[in-house]
Amino acid sequence: MGKRVLVTDDTAFMRMTLRNVLEKNGFEVVGEAADGEEAVALYAELRPDVVTMDITMPKMDGITAIRKILEIDPNARVIVCSAMGQKPMVIEALNAGAKDFLVKPFQPERIIEALRKVTG
């Protein structure tokens, strides 16, 4: 049984990409969230093993969402996803409790490595 993943990104393209990569590598994508609010709600509902979290999103940004999710579950494992040049926000996310980070454009092997190590 593969690890259960909640994918959060405001673009359908990125969610699709992540889903493809993850499913090919034995992960199970249990949900997709398009913003921070949805991610928090879906986390409470689905209790996935790991969450990928985009930073810049409408309604609620990724960093706030990470904090909310950790309030729900202090052991939650969240991997923050960022674009190049968002270094300060990545640091902030890590300080907020994200377990690791991924930088876009994504390389499949890095995604898998990060998820395996974080869930391992």
What residues make contact with other proteins under the rule CB under 8 A? 82-85, 87, 90-91, 94, 100-101, 103, 110, 113-114, 117-118, 120
Q: Which is nearer to other proteins, 40 or 80 (CB)?
A: 80
Q: Which is nearer to other proteins, 46 or 97 (CB)?
A: 97
Specify the DSSP class assigned to residue 4: E
CA proximity to 89, closest of 65, 72, 68, 73: 65
Farthest-apart Cα atoms in the chain, separation: 36
As measured in angstroms, the least distance from the Cβ of 98 to other proteins is 9
As measured in angstroms, the least distance from the Cβ of 40 to other proteins is 24
